[in-house]
Amino acid sequence: MSHSENAKGSCLCGEVKFTVKKLSDSIGACHCGMCRKWAGGPWLGVDCGSEVLFEGEKNIKIYNSSDWAERGFCSKCGSNLFYRVKQSGQHFMPAGLFDKTATLVFDHQIFIDKKPDYFDFTNKTENMTEAEVFARYGSDSD
């Protein structure tokens, strides 16, 4: 997996801007029930590690979505900003928030067993079931 250095982006209204020190080039789709409710469909995110600098932090609201993770959004425009693992500070952020996306590649899907039948992506991706996600990341609920 390669990384882009100092990737920049913002929410829809621009009140929250951010710089990610190391942005993964891999985009993943999450099909868990929480992400589908949060995004209105599959959530397309990118691993941003723990080094994310925000401008306009006063506009970031946090929703504690589980014991081990929280989700941030812009209080002005409602843009989903991140899914953050509480213990490590690791951020997963929506791919569409970044200014430059030319190097990003959609290559994996998680909670594939929770994906609704009404769509399919044509990309060849790594697909992980709910059980496989929890085995890799160490939790037992979304």
Average confidence (pLDDT) per 10 residues, the chain, 142 residues: 79 98 95 94 96 98 94 98 95 96 92 94 89 79 49
pLDDT at residue 13, as a whole number = 98
**What CATH number corresponds to the domain at position 38?**
3.90.1590.10
Q: Is residue 32 part of a domain?
A: yes
* Residue 142 falls inside a structural domain: no
pTM for the whole structure? 0.84
Q: What is the rounded CA–CA span in Å between residue 87 and residue 89?
A: 6
The whole-number pLDDT of residue 133 equals 86
| Helices and strands in the chain: count of H runs, count of E runs | 2, 11
Total domain count, the chain? 1
Helices marked H in the chain — which ranges?
33-39, 130-137
Range of the domain at 25: 3-133
Residue 138 belongs to some domain of the structure: no
State how beta strands 69-74 and 60-63 pair: antiparallel
